[in-house]
A and B are shown apart, each in its own frame.
Chain A
Amino acid sequence: GQQVMQIPQYQHVQEGEDFTTYCNSSTTLSNIQWYKQRPGGHPVFLIQLVKSGEVKKQKRLTFQFGEAKKNSSLHITATQTTDVGTYFCAGSARNGSARQLTFGSGTQLTVLP
């Protein structure tokens, strides 16, 4: 079945440093979504990417979808303590149901003040 790998599993950064998490799928995706889960909380939707090579920005967050639609990345510029949490990518397989998402294992971000 479809697998979505995410690296790194953990990342510690000093406040103000940049952070990147990478997501790779074993199959071509129709779209990819990113979610953030604060410690003790539940996942919250951040964004969806659909087009090959698409880049979207939300303030200090930059999301990219690969040309082959099999990988994606999330980059945070100048991290703040409010960025702490686990970031998950989740994809829908191109030949599967758009209603089902396969989640990556997540990257847990710690921001040291």
Chain B
Amino acid sequence: NAGVTQTPKFRVLKTGQSMTLLCAQDMNHEYMYWYRQDPGMGLRLIHYSVGEGTTAKGEVPDGYNVSRLKKQNFLLGLESAAPSQTSVYFCASSYRLGRGGYEQYFGPGTRLTVT
């Protein structure tokens, strides 16, 4: 099993350009997430999905859109990139642990720079 994969690994955009980040998981997990990681700020949730065809906003959703047309894929779109969106983006998927929690499996990350 590949687990959680992300493409691309690196990308440089100019301000105003758009792009889509792709996340794929082969573990049949229902739940998927997009986070951004900035120095000193931990991981912040952008959007998440609890199943195919459903999405919801997280803590920092502005400037991003997502889609989950297939259970195994979760796409993150940047409509008009801004320098403030320079970050490392992680996708994760999860399944339910015993006793109520959900362990999250993370992809390798996409390093995005917006100039």
Known: A42-B109, A48-B97. A99 touches B102 (CB 8 A): yes
Q: Would you give the shortest CB distance from B36 to chain A, in whole angstroms?
A: 11
Stretch at the interface among A55-63, A66-74, A102-110: A102-110
A31 and B102 CA atoms in complex are apart in Å by: 10
B40 near A9 with CB under 8 A, answer yes
A71 and B10 CA atoms in complex are apart in Å by: 36
B107 near A31 with CB under 8 A, answer no
Smallest Cβ-Cβ distance to B111: which chain A residue? A40
- A residues 58-113 near B (Cβ < 8 Å) are 88, 90, 92, 98-106
Contacts across chains A and B counted by CB atoms under 8 Å: 66
Smallest Cβ-Cβ distance to B38: which chain A residue? A105
Which chain A residues lie closer than 8 Å to B103 at the CB level? 33, 45, 48
B42 near A98 with CB under 8 A, answer no
Smallest Cβ-Cβ distance to A105: which chain B residue? B42
Which chain A residues lie closer than 8 Å to B101 at the CB level? 30-31, 33, 48, 50, 92, 98
Asked if A1 is an interface residue, CB under 8 A from chain B, the answer is: yes
Stretch at the interface among B17-25, B44-52, B67-75, B78-86: B44-52
Which chain A residues lie closer than 8 Å to B97 at the CB level? 48
Partner of B43, one of A9, A30, A88, A92: A88
Asked if B41 is an interface residue, CB under 8 A from chain A, the answer is: yes
Contact with B along A1-30 (1 / 0, CB 8 A): 100001001000000000000000000001
A50 and B43 CA atoms in complex are apart in Å by: 21
B102 near A98 with CB under 8 A, answer yes
A35 and B109 CA atoms in complex are apart in Å by: 15
B102 near A50 with CB under 8 A, answer no
Asked if B61 is an interface residue, CB under 8 A from chain A, the answer is: no
Chain B interface residues (CB < 8 Å from chain A): 31, 35, 40-45, 48, 50, 58-59, 90, 92, 94, 96-97, 99-109
Return 19 A-B CB contacts under 8 Å, by A number.
A33-B101, A33-B103, A33-B104, A42-B107, A42-B108, A43-B43, A43-B92, A43-B106, A45-B105, A48-B97, A48-B101, A48-B103, A50-B99, A50-B100, A88-B42, A92-B100, A92-B102, A102-B45, A102-B59
